[in-house]
């Protein structure tokens, strides 16, 4: 561009790479079979934030078994917390059944998620399946009766729906860590999690129509709306770089090869009507998962994501979760984000003045609080 020196170009290039780096911080990613290594966004980035915070630690956490206050043992799941870190891990432990869930499994999962929600020291929850063959293969078909799934009780139930709602509304991030099959009701479970980190051996799909079942709730609606908006921002950065540098070859190919990851209604219909399976890279292209990593790196990468989230403001992260869900969740979404607003307000002097005035049987003095524009 006229009037700009080579140095100016380098500065702009560095700044744009840095902006892109903040969109996908500190990572060299495999996305859609291409390695995205935005200069300046690798973990060696030398900006103030990285100088202050340093690298995200990658050591293996020390896991300790966790219990809830019912005192009952867990049979179908393993519930653990990382010592000294805000991470809980909940694992379906029926590998011989490809981690299919029965009512007992769902009840235990709900107890563990409830405990992790109530534990102030926990900031992120990993949800996974035992072994490398399956995250979860859905409802245990051998226990399916006319009213749903029945194990020790005589009556059937469809209680996984309650678990889905619990994960969706849980005010902390839940990360699905998927190795092997995530199919049927197991596929729905990974979709309702906030993030999905997939191993390269992961397989995704709905099987319902093959076995006379379907999930017309979250299983249909959330799938149709899944997309990774983040890629759009990377696209904008690449496009700007093209506009500024007039690098036609790189610019045009960048623009053409940047995909907008989205399942959308058409793909959702395909997944449900055909009940096909998709490998990890296909799932990534569709925006079903956040990242695909080699199987042997799955837990390491997931822990890194947890630690990166845990560096950030818990309240900000909480509000981001409820804000992102709000529009799709209707009244329930508004209730969640509205509740967060009340929670924050209770911590203010203004909120406290109202309560104190009531308890002290006096008029509240709200005059000292600004009526902000």
Could you tell me if residue 353 is left (phi over 0), alpha (psi between -120 and 50 degrees) or otherwise beta? alpha
Residue among 132 and 141 whose Cβ is closer to ligand LW2Y6JES: 141
Residues 6+ apart with CB under 8 A from 269: none
Q: Considering beta carbons, is residue 278 or 305 the nearer one to ligand LW2Y6JES?
A: 278
Kindly tell me the burial class for residue 229, based on how many C-beta atoms sit within 10 Å of its own C-beta (0-12, 13-18, 19 or more). exposed
Distance CA 287, CA 295 (A): 19
Q: Which positions ≥6 away from 293 have C-beta within 8 Å?
A: 30, 197, 198, 199, 200, 301
Q: What is the DSSP letter of 275?
A: -
Looking at beta carbons only, is 109 or 160 nearer to ligand LW2Y6JES? 160
Q: Which is nearer to ligand LW2Y6JES, 135 or 305 (CB)?
A: 135
Smaller CB separation from ligand LW2Y6JES, 156 or 351? 156
CB of residue 170 to ligand LW2Y6JES, shortest distance in Å: 18
In the DSSP assignment, the letter for residue 296 is G
Spatial CA neighbour of 220 closest among 208, 230, 231, 232: 208
Q: Which residues contact 291 (CB under 8 A, 6 or more apart)?
A: 27, 29, 30, 31, 197, 198, 284, 301
Residue 159 Cβ, how far from ligand LW2Y6JES at the closest point, in Å?
A: 6
CB of 146 to ligand LW2Y6JES, least distance (A): 13
Smallest distance, ligand LW2Y6JES to C-beta of residue 87, A? 27
CB of 224 to ligand LW2Y6JES, least distance (A): 16
Angstrom distance (rounded) from CA 147 to CA 328? 29
Which residue has the closest beta carbon to ligand LW2Y6JES? 138
Measured from the CB atom, the residue of 199 and 337 that comes closer to ligand LW2Y6JES is: 199
Please give the radius of gyration of the chain, using alpha carbons only, rounded to the nearest integer. 23
Compute the least distance from the CB of residue 47 to ligand LW2Y6JES, in Å: 45
Q: Which is nearer to ligand LW2Y6JES, 216 or 249 (CB)?
A: 216
| CB atoms closer than 10 angstroms to residue 59 | 8
- The first and second tokens of residue 138, run together, are 């859905």
3-state secondary structure of 341: helix
Q: Quick check: helix, strand or coil at residue 35?
A: strand
Nearer to ligand LW2Y6JES, 12 or 161 (CB): 161
Backbone angles phi, psi at 31, to 5 degrees: -130, 130
Q: Nearest 5°: phi and psi at 176?
A: -80, 125
Which of 158/236 has CB closer to ligand LW2Y6JES?
158
Q: Tell me how far, at minimum, the Cβ of 222 lies from ligand LW2Y6JES, in Å.
A: 13
The residue among 165 and 320 lying less far from ligand LW2Y6JES, judged by its C-beta, is 165
CB of 231 to ligand LW2Y6JES, least distance (A): 29
Q: How far is the CB of 189 from ligand LW2Y6JES (least distance, A)?
A: 9
Binding site for ligand LW2Y6JES (CB under 6 A): 97-98, 100, 133-134, 137-142, 148-149, 158-161, 181, 183-185, 207-208, 211, 213, 215
- Return the number of other C-beta atoms located less than 10 Å from residue 177's C-beta: 27
Nearest distance in Å: CB 218, ligand LW2Y6JES = 9
Q: Three-state SS for 70?
A: coil
């Amino acid at each position: 561009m006229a009037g700009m020196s080579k140095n100016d170009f380098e500065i702009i290039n560095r700044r744009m790479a840095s902006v892109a780096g903040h969109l996908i911080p500190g990572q060299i990613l495999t996305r859609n079979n291409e390695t995205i290594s935005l200069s300046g966004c690798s973990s060696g980035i030398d900006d103030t934030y990285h100088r202050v915070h340093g690298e995200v630690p990658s050591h293996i956490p020390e896991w300790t078994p966790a219990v809830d206050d019912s005192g009952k043992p867990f049979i179908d799941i393993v519930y653990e917390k990382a010592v000294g870190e805000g991470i809980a891990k909940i694992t379906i432990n029926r590998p011989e059944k490809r981690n299919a869930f029965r009512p007992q499994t769902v009840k235990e999962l709900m107890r563990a998620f409830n405990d992790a929600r109530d534990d102030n020291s926990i900031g992120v929850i990993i949800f996974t399946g035992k072994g490398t063959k399956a995250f979860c293969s859905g409802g245990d078909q051998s226990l399916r009766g006319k009213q749903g799934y029945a194990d020790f009780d005589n009556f059937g139930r469809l209680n996984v729906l309650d678990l889905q709602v619990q994960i969706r509304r849980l005010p902390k991030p839940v990360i699905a860590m998927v190795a092997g099959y995530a199919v049927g009701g197991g596929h729905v479970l990974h979709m309702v999690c906030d993030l999905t980190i997939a191993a390269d051996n992961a397989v995704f799909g709905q099987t319902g129509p093959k076995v006379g079942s379907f999930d017309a709730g979250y299983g249909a609606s959330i799938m149709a709306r899944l997309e990774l908006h983040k890629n759009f921002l990377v696209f904008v950065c690449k496009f700007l770089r093209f506009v500024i540098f007039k690098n036609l070859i790189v610019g045009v190919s960048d623009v053409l090869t940047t995909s907008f990851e989205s399942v959308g209604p058409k793909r959702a219909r395909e997944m449900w009507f055909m009940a096909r399976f998709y490998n990890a890279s296909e799932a990534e292209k569709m925006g079903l998962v956040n990242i695909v990593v080699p199987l042997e790196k799955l837990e390491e990468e997931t822990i890194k994501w947890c630690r990166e989230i845990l560096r950030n403001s818990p309240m900000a992260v909480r509000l981001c979760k409820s804000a992102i869900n709000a529009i799709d969740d209707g009244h329930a979404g508004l209730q969640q984000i509205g509740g967060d607003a009340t929670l924050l307000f209770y911590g203010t002097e203004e909120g406290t003045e109202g309560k104190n005035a009531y308890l002290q049987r006096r008029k509240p003095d709200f005059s000292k609080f600004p009526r902000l524009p």
